[in-house]
């Protein structure tokens, strides 16, 4: 187990370094610079600003300087927001994105599992057809179109929920539902397919022949095995939700980290682009690592292989 964890941590560090290096190069490849304006700055002023942020040094020198600061967890100052560092921006805005992502993840897992299970239990009936129709819609329609529809229908037409802003629990519902739509549909289809296969297995038939109640057979045997592919999907699912929140936060005017990331690309704010990318990359590979560790608690075969080793 120790060697497995060590290998995973080394892999994590390698992935973060590769992503940081590629982002550093690609950010510098964006035409213009962080201080490019419609009305050009006087050359002397531009030289002083670039010297202040060490942008006058060779690119390789900037790279090693940034990597050294990153090892000290210093992601540098923002070129666009003079009073804020990248660390300050992440510290102030990520909790908002995390709350939104948490509720979107909760919706996706809860309703995806529920809809997939119900569809398998009512196979080839109208309930199954209706649930799979909703799943097809969730997979097919882009998030920004769903966001527009939810804002128009639930916000403007029915007046049930606010269409923008942040602060009240009601502000979470529409953006979280928009973020959860695709993974919810994917989980529902996955659970339905696995449940149909598992419910026809011999051990399920034996459990029912022994007189076990259907709810015991369903929850103790069927769902526990059907959910295994969903556990594997948790890593990409979290990535989908958190990276998808960039656009959704902009649509619903949510003061999260995505707002700064999107604006940093337009402003060529190199340090914010790099810092947010590295931060999300580290977060996602850590979460994937935790998913790999937790998978053993759901699949007994992994524990058997470990004991034999």
pLDDT tens digits, the chain, 309 residues: what are they? Answer: 667 678 878 888 898 899 889 988 887 777 766 666 666 667 777 677 777 777 778 888 888 888 888 888 888 888 877 778 888 888 888 888 888 888 998 998 889 888 888 888 787 888 888 888 888 888 788 888 888 888 888 888 888 888 888 878 888 899 999 888 888 888 888 888 888 777 777 666 676 676 666 667 676 667 777 777 777 777 777 776 776 677 888 888 888 887 788 778 777 788 888 888 888 888 888 877 777 776 655 555 555 444 444
What pairs with residue 85 in β-bridges? 77
State residue 191's pLDDT score: 83
**60, exposed or middle or buried, with CB in 10 Å at 0-12, 13-18, 19+?**
exposed
State residue 293's pLDDT score: 72
**In which residue are the tokens 């527009």 written?**
148
State residue 304's pLDDT score: 43
State residue 37's pLDDT score: 65
CA atoms lying within 13 Å on the CB side of residue 295:
18
State residue 307's pLDDT score: 45
Residue/partner pairs of 192-195 with CB below 8 Å, 24 or more apart: 192/116, 192/117, 192/119, 192/120, 192/128, 192/131, 192/132, 194/225, 194/226, 194/228, 194/229, 195/116, 195/117, 195/120, 195/121, 195/222, 195/223, 195/226
State residue 305's pLDDT score: 46
State residue 308's pLDDT score: 45
- In this structure, what is the dihedral angle of CA atoms 13, 16, 17, 20, given to the nearest 10 degrees? -160
């Amino acid at each position: 187990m120790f060697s497995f964890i060590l290998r995973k941590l080394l892999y994590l560090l390698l992935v973060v370094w590769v992503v940081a290096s590629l982002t550093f190069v690609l950010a510098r490849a964006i035409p213009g610079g962080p201080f490019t304006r419609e009305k050009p700055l006087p050359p002397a002023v531009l030289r002083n600003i670039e010297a202040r942020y060490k942008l006058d040094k060779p690119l390789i020198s900037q790279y090693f300087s940034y990597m050294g600061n990153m090892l000290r967890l210093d992601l540098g100052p923002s070129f666009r927001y003079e009073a804020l560092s990248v660390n300050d921006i992440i510290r102030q805005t990520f909790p908002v994105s995390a709350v939104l992502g948490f509720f979107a993840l909760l919706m996706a897992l809860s309703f995806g599992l529920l809809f997939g299970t119900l569809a398998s239990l009512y196979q080839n009936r109208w309930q199954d057809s209706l649930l799979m129709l909703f799943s097809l819609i969730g997979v097919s329609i882009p998030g920004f179109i769903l966001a527009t529809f939810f804002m128009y229908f639930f916000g403007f037409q029915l007046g049930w929920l606010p269409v923008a802003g942040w602060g009240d629990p009601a502000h979470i519902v529409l953006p979280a539902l928009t973020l959860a739509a695709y993974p919810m549909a994917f989980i529902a289809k996955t659970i339905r397919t696995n449940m149909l296969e598992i419910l026809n297995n011999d051990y399920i038939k034996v459990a029912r022949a022994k007189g076990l109640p259907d709810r015991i057979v369903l929850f103790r045997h069927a769902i526990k095995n059907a959910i295994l592919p969903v556990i594997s999907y948790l890593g990409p699912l979290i990535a989908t939700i958190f990276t998808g929140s960039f656009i959704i936060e902009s649509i619903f005017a949510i003061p999260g980290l995505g707002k700064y990331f999107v604006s940093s690309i337009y402003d060529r704010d190199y340090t914010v682009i790099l810092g947010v990318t590295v931060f999300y990359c580290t977060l996602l590979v850590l979460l994937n690592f935790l998913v790999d560790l937790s998978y053993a608690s759901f699949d007994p075969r992994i524990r058997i292989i470990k004991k034999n080793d």
